[in-house]
């Protein structure tokens, strides 16, 4: 897959999702943060790093997506309670990065990816608590979804509002780091929520989830496409 992307004159963007299944909102028993830190998966991670090194050109890579969202098992909620979870996340993140650097995979450009909103909005869950440090990421990234079904009431704030909220905090915690808009989108019927965010000088890359219509049972029509929706073409 990476070779195919490179042949298109693009840079591959790989997400390491160490989890037993795609279900959300539960603790991870197999690929837990404790086991990552203990080195239980070092053999496989090292092998992956050697393959990445052999690729020979840049790869954007992330692990621990949206740690400030309680849907993922690496969030504080599933890792020891207030205060302990973020520290455990940072230790696991650094372990993976250090291990791959030790294998000489210097072509990997690490992306630290948060959700625009801390969920829950508690001091202990602020995304700043999960920051692995300036030496452990080349990019910082964010997700900023609008409502994904016509009746959804969460996330109705405008894209511009979400960018203002997250952008200020990201530039403060990671000065000088380029910002990647890793995920965004909304229901086609609520496209106005994707109004133009205005200039953000540090935002360098957009990686949009250009979804197909949702199932009829969900009642959703995912959209917010930058190429087809009148509300988002100016972005």
Domain boundaries, the chain: 1-131, 138-235
- Of the listed ranges 35-49, 77-91, 144-158, the one predicted with least confidence: 144-158
Residue 108 and residue 69: Cα distance in Å, rounded? 25
The DSSP element (H or E) to which 161 belongs, if any, is: helix 159-173
Rounded average pLDDT over 49-64: 98
Answer yes or no: is pLDDT of 176 > 60: yes
Q: What pLDDT, in 10s, does the model give residues 75-125?
A: 999 997 767 899 999 999 999 999 999 999 999 999 999 999 999 999 999
**11 token code pair:** 């840079």
> Does 222 or 202 have the greater pLDDT score?
202
Provide the pLDDT confidence category of residue 152 given band limits of 50, 70 and 90: very low
What pLDDT, on a 0 to 100 scale, did the predictor assign at position 204? 52
Rg (CA), the chain: 18
What pLDDT, on a 0 to 100 scale, did the predictor assign at position 156? 62
Q: What pLDDT, in 10s, does the model give residues 186-199?
A: 655 544 444 444 55
Q: CA nearest 146: which of 220, 87, 91?
A: 220
Are the CB atoms for 58 and 109 separated by under 8 Å?
A: yes
Its CATH class, for the domain covering 1-131, is alpha beta
Residue 169 and residue 229: Cα distance in Å, rounded? 29
The DSSP element (H or E) to which 114 belongs, if any, is: strand 108-115
Residue 188 and residue 225: Cα distance in Å, rounded? 9
Provide the pLDDT confidence category of residue 235 given band limits of 50, 70 and 90: very low
Are the CB atoms for 118 and 130 separated by under 8 Å?
A: no
Answer yes or no: is pLDDT of 207 > 50: yes
Residue 73 and residue 218: Cα distance in Å, rounded? 24
> Does 2 or 203 have the greater pLDDT score?
2
What pLDDT, on a 0 to 100 scale, did the predictor assign at position 83? 73
Rounded average pLDDT over 174-190: 80
Rounded average pLDDT over 13-36: 96
Residue 167 and residue 169: Cα distance in Å, rounded? 5
Q: Is 171 helix (H, G, I), strand (E, B) or coil?
A: helix
What pLDDT, on a 0 to 100 scale, did the predictor assign at position 22? 94
Mean residue pLDDT across the chain: 82
Are the CB atoms for 54 and 104 separated by under 8 Å?
A: no
Provide the pLDDT confidence category of residue 155 given band limits of 50, 70 and 90: low
């Amino acid at each position: 897959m990476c070779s195919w992307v490179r042949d298109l004159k693009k840079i591959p963007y790989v997400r390491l999702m160490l989890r037993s299944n795609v279900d959300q909102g539960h603790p991870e028993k197999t690929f837990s943060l404790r086991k990552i830190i203990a080195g239980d998966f070092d053999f496989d991670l090292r092998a992956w790093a050697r393959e990445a090194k052999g690729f020979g050109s840049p790869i954007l890579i992330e692990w621990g997506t949206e740690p400030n969202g309680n849907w993922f098992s690496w969030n504080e909620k599933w890792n020891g309670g207030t205060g302990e979870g973020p520290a455990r996340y940072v230790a696991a993140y650094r372990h993976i990065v250090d291990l791959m650097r030790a294998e000489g995979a210097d072509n990997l450009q690490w992306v630290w990816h948060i959700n625009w909103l801390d969920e829950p909005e508690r001091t202990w869950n602020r995304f700043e608590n999960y920051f692995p440090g300036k030496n452990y990421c080349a990019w910082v990234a964010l997700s900023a979804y609008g409502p994904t079904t016509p009746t959804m009431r969460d996330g109705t704030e405008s894209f511009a509002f979400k960018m203002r909220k997250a952008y200020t905090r990201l530039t403060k915690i990671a000065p000088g780091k380029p910002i990647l808009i890793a995920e965004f989108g909304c229901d086609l019927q609520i496209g106005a929520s994707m109004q133009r965010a205005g200039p953000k000088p540090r935002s360098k890359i957009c990686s949009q989830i250009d979804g197909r219509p949702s199932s009829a049972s969900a009642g959703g029509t995912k959209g917010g496409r930058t190429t087809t929706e009148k509300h988002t073409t100016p972005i």
